[in-house]
Amino acid sequence: MEDICTINALRLMQSADEFRAKLSGEFSAVHGLSVNEYFLLMHLQKAPLNRLSRVELAKRMYVSASTVTRMAAPMEKLGLVRRESDSRDARLAYVVLSEAGTTRLGEAKMTFAKHARDTFGDRWSRTELENLSKLLNRLVAGTLPNLT
Amino acid sequence: MEDICTINALRLMQSADEFRAKLSGEFSAVHGLSVNEYFLLMHLQKAPLNRLSRVELAKRMYVSASTVTRMAAPMEKLGLVRRESDSRDARLAYVVLSEAGTTRLGEAKMTFAKHARDTFGDRWSRTELENLSKLLNRLVAGTLPNLT
DNA sequence: GCAATATGCTTGCATATGCAAGTATATTGC
DNA sequence: GCAATATACTTGCATATGCAAGCATATTGC
């Protein structure tokens, strides 16, 4: 194995899987959120009016539209998001971040940040962290709106 | 959002999700493999005797033991892996890479490499690629045996 | 040696997710 | 204006996955 692109892709996926696995347990136990639900809230918070249509959420989260429909339903029951329709296009069903959702998201962000610091630890220099940040940004910047 | 660790973790997960999503379709269509099945075969190929117990596979793949059990069953029917037991410990049930599995894995590696090259494209310099590789290696090297 | 505990695997159940089909609404071509 | 097509969402079904319980085998403490 010498293809540097392949190596990078493998390491990218493995490190992301590891991080997600470590995050997952505490997230559901402490915040009652799956990692994907966390990302859904993050996308909403970043969006104008704190809302996005289901298809737009699906694109940004790399999941199917039906998954967004099914994720939103229980989150709506919990009051983390609410549903809004568009006055001009009756097909659209926005998912809107609520007050409670904002609060919950804020708590979850603490946990996320803690795990992120644990992952990089104090063995990473500021320069290395910024270097990685810059390189990863080239990966996410190209396509869709991202969370950073 | 200014915490550089958080930003890195977010970008890491988003870029990995994007890569996985792009890979997923062609993988199942062309090779009849899910991305996770690909990783399972990769771990086997890297292991001594091309075999690993189910719990060891589970650890390396960041999934539960039951998931490995259920992934291995259909792959065994397809002949991609076979089952072996340990002469000293009757609890162990190794998953062993077969000839057919090696062949299939080799084909899938081509697709993986193609997508990896597409992802990084020609806009990445050799230096940047090696820089990223080095940084990501710090993330995966700490814990479990990895694929690179 | 035996009971207590630990480990490896499997299975029942619940949740998560994608795909394809169905429904409702918008847009386009004419 | 209307038919044809496109888009947004939902739902039925199939697959994927985790957790907890169950079972078999190993190891440990005595």
Confidence label for A141 from pLDDT (cuts 50, 70 and 90): confident
Partner residue opposite B143 with nearest CB, options A4, A18, A42: A18
Report residues of chain B scoring pLDDT below 70. Answer: 1
Q: Is residue B140 part of a domain?
A: no
H/E element holding A16?
A: helix A4-26
Provide the residue range defining the domain that includes B22.
15-122
Say yes or no for a CB contact (<8 Å) between B10 and A148: yes
Give pLDDT tens digits for A79-97: 999 999 999 999 999 999 9
- Overall domain count for chain B: 1
Distance A21 CA to C15 C1' (A): 17
Say yes or no: A122 contacts chain B, CB-CB below 8 A.
no
pLDDT average, residue stretch A121-132 = 92
Q: Is residue B117 part of a domain?
A: yes
Interface test with A, best of B1, B3, B4, B39 (most A CBs within 10 A): B4
Give pLDDT tens digits for A35-63: 999 999 999 999 999 999 999 999 999 99
Query: What is the spatial distance between Cα B57 and Cα B73, in angstroms, rounded to a whole number?
Result: 14
Give me the CATH number covering residue B24: 1.10.10.10
Q: Is residue A98 part of a domain?
A: yes
Q: Is residue A118 part of a domain?
A: no
Q: What residues are paired with B94 via a beta bridge?
A: B53, B84
Say yes or no: B100 contacts chain A, CB-CB below 8 A.
no
Collect all residues of chain A within an 8 Å Cβ-Cβ radius of residue B146: 10-11, 14
Q: Is residue B1 part of a domain?
A: no
Q: Is residue A130 part of a domain?
A: no
Query: What is the spatial distance between Cα A137 and Cα A112, in angstroms, rounded to a whole number?
Result: 19
Query: According to the model, what pLDDT value does residue B144 have?
Result: 77
Mean pLDDT of chain A: 94
Q: Taking a C-beta distance cutoff of 8 angstroms, is the pair A136, A69 a contact?
A: no
Burial of B49 (0-12, 13-18, 19+ CB in 10 A): exposed
Q: Is residue B134 part of a domain?
A: no
Collect all residues of chain B within an 8 Å Cβ-Cβ radius of residue A62: 17-18, 20-21
Q: Is residue A13 part of a domain?
A: yes
Q: How far lies A136's CA from each of A8, A62, A90, B34, B107, in Å?
A: 11, 17, 38, 25, 28
Count CA atoms closer than 13 A to A50's CA, side-chain side.
14
